[in-house]
């Protein structure tokens, strides 16, 4: 666990030292990703056997310590993040060079630091440790969001820091300290630590503080940082939307619901029902905004906001099946959404096009890119044989088991909206002929993006389909989260 945090930090130092040797710098990023992935994969056997090793580094006060530990959701998150770091590093080689981006060494170094913070979140043994790495992830991704250095990027960076730090320090930290005062511990315990420790009104206030203190989950109305951050280069968008930042948010949401409150505790609280409705509203509203957005990255950003709230809503249904669906959706969304952002970056690298209205006929010139985009889009909609179908199916089953008509309706409506803002892109790319005024960017005279980009987008699209056919491993980890109940 400690090595998993230290390895990316070592890589960041080596990357900075290789500034004048770009091939070596990029090799360090890819090789470190491979090593980290294999290290995390080696922890699978321990967790699947039911063992939960932990280590306390420092105990400042009784029950308030820096602690690392293994549990199913953390291992799943760590494997996804480290695996996708490898692919993102390969994609970055083609994108950063193809677009002649400045400060490439700085980009790779901060990316590695961000992965170290992500590993700290994944293996945190209590809420205090998780909070420290959660804040570190916010700070170390700021240079990536502001990578371009222009006025727009700096404005987006201020929004990014402002919302995420305000919510975490003003709400999340208060909730953590209040929990410690009530229970004397911040450890992650199956069934929760708050049962019988406070009155229902106090628990209701704590739930609000936690849910909105975890701003990285982008639940409305604290979501604006996410579309604002789309000014960053596409590999950074992939980091934000698939590998680390937003996944850290929904990962923390699920951990808090399962291990801090406990499903049974929340199920007995009428005051907890608001979370289901706010998450459902976020899903639908964000989908409508995506439907109306012509800018491709903005459409994908609001799609992410919607998909994140699928995870929140699934956890808020408070049924073992839906919580399994929430954990699965962390994995399936990661693969599907990173595929879509890679495709957007591929299109931009070759054509400099950023709008949906410019993509007619592009599938004929970039079949690999748009084929992968189609796979990612189908996964977001929840169509077999893509991974998104499995996680949405579990969420739907959980909603039906809990007789949550609202959640079922949200899933149906949002699925139609997903289809409404993704399928027209696919149709136009493959079945509409390019035309119009060349000045509007509609004439297509190009081929595919550089090989590293095409390789990366193909790998993640393949992974999106593979998870549909071979879900057993992620399903086993997700079921352990709820004590093996489906």
Distance from C-alpha of 34 to C-alpha of 36, rounded to nearest angstrom? 5
Q: What is the DSSP string of 163-225?
A: HHHHHIIIIIHHHHHHHHHHHS--B--TT-S-TTTS-HHHHHHHHHHHHHH-GGG--TTS-TH
Distance of CA 119 to the CA centre of its chain: 14
- In this predicted model, what pLDDT tens digit does every residue of 300-331 receive, in sequence order? 999 999 999 999 999 999 999 999 999 999 99
Specify burial of residue 420 (Cβ count, 10 A radius: 0-12, 13-18, 19+). Answer: middle
Per-residue pLDDT 10s for the chain (486 aa) are: 789 999 999 999 999 998 888 899 999 999 999 999 999 999 999 999 989 999 999 988 888 899 999 999 999 999 999 999 999 999 999 888 888 888 889 999 999 999 999 999 999 999 999 999 999 999 999 999 998 888 988 999 999 999 999 999 999 999 999 999 999 999 999 999 998 898 999 999 999 999 999 999 999 999 999 998 888 888 888 877 677 899 999 999 999 999 999 999 999 888 889 999 999 999 999 999 999 999 999 999 999 999 999 999 999 999 999 999 999 999 999 999 999 999 999 999 999 898 999 999 999 999 999 999 999 999 999 999 999 999 999 999 999 999 999 999 999 999 999 999 999 999 999 999 886 444 444 455 678 989 999 999 999 999 999 999 999 999 999 999 887 544
pLDDT at 301: 92
Identify the CA nearest to 329 among candidates 365, 380, 282, 281.
Answer: 380
Number of Cα atoms under 13 Å in the Cβ half of residue 190? 13
- In this predicted model, what pLDDT tens digit does every residue of 57-111 receive, in sequence order? 998 888 889 999 999 999 999 999 999 999 999 999 988 888 888 888 999 999 9
Beta bridge partners of 68: 55, 124
Residue 144 vs residues 43, 101, 342: alpha-carbon distances, Å = 30, 12, 17
Distance from C-alpha of 318 to C-alpha of 26, rounded to nearest angstrom? 44
Do 362 and 351 contact (CB within 8 A), yes or no? yes
pLDDT at 442: 45
pLDDT at 437: 41
Backbone angles phi, psi at 214, to 5 degrees: -90, 70
Residue 21 vs residues 34, 75, 108, 318: alpha-carbon distances, Å = 20, 34, 13, 52
- Any long-range contacts for 149-152 (C-beta under 8 Å, 24+ apart)? 149/102, 149/103, 152/231
In 49-103, where does DSSP find H-type helix? Answer: 72-98
pTM of the model as a whole = 0.93
Distance from C-alpha of 129 to C-alpha of 328, rounded to nearest angstrom? 24
Three-class DSSP category at 310: helix
């Amino acid at each position: 666990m400690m090595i998993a945090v230290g390895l990316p930090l070592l890589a960041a130092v080596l990357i900075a030292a290789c500034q004048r040797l770009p091939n070596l710098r990029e090799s360090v990023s890819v090789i470190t990703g491979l090593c980290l992935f294999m290290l995390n994969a080696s922890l699978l056997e321990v967790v699947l056997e039911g063992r939960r090793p932990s280590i306390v580094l420092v105990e400042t006060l009784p029950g308030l310590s820096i602690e690392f530990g293994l549990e199913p959701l953390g291992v799943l998150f760590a494997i996804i993040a480290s695996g996708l770091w490898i692919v993102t590093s390969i994609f970055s080689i083609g994108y950063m060079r193809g677009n002649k981006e400045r400060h490439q060494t700085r980009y790779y170094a901060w990316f590695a630091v961000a992965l170290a913070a992500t590993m700290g979140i994944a293996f945190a043994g209590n809420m205090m440790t998780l909070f420290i790495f959660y804040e570190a992830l916010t700070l170390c991704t700021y240079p990536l969001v502001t990578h371009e250095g222009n006025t727009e990027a700096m404005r987006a960076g201020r929004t990014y820091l402002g919302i995420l730090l305000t919510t975490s320090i003003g709400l999340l930290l208060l909730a953590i300290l209040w929990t410690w005062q009530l229970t004397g511990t911040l450890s992650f315990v199956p069934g929760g630590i708050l049962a019988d420790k406070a009155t229902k009104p106090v628990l209701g206030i704590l739930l609000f503080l936690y849910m909105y203190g975890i701003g990285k989950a982008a639940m409305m109305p604290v979501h604006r940082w996410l579309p604002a951050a789309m000014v960053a280069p596409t590999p950074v968008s992939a980091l934000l939307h698939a590998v680390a930042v937003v996944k850290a948010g929904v990962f923390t949401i699920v951990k808090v619901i399962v291990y801090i409150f406990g499903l049974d505790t929340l199920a007995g609280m009428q005051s907890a029902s608001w979370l289901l409705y706010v998450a459902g509203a976020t899903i639908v509203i964000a989908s409508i905004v995506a439907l109306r957005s012509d800018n491709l990255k903005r459409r994908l950003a609001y799609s992410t906001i919607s998909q994140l709230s699928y995870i929140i809503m699934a956890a808020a249904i408070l049924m073992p099946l839906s919580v399994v669906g929430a954990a699965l959706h962390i994995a399936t969304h990661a693969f599907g959404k990173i595929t879509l952002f890679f495709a957007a970056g591929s299109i931009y690298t070759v054509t400099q096009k950023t709008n949906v209205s410019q993509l007619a006929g592009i599938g004929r010139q970039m079949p690999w890119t748009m084929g992968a985009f189609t796979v990612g889009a189908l996964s977001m909609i929840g169509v077999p044989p893509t991974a998104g179908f499995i996680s949405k199916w579990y969420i739907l089953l959980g909603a039906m088991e809990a007789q949550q008509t609202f959640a079922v309706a949200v899933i149906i409506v949002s699925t139609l909206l997903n289809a409404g803002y993704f399928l027209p892109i696919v149709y136009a790319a493959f079945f509409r002929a390019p035309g119009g005024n060349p000045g509007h960017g509609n004439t297509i005279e190009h081929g595919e993006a550089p090989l590293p980009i095409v390789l990366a987008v193909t790998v993640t699209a393949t992974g999106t389909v593979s998870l549909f056919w071979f879900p057993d491993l992620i399903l086993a980890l997700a079921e352990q989260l709820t004590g093996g109940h489906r």
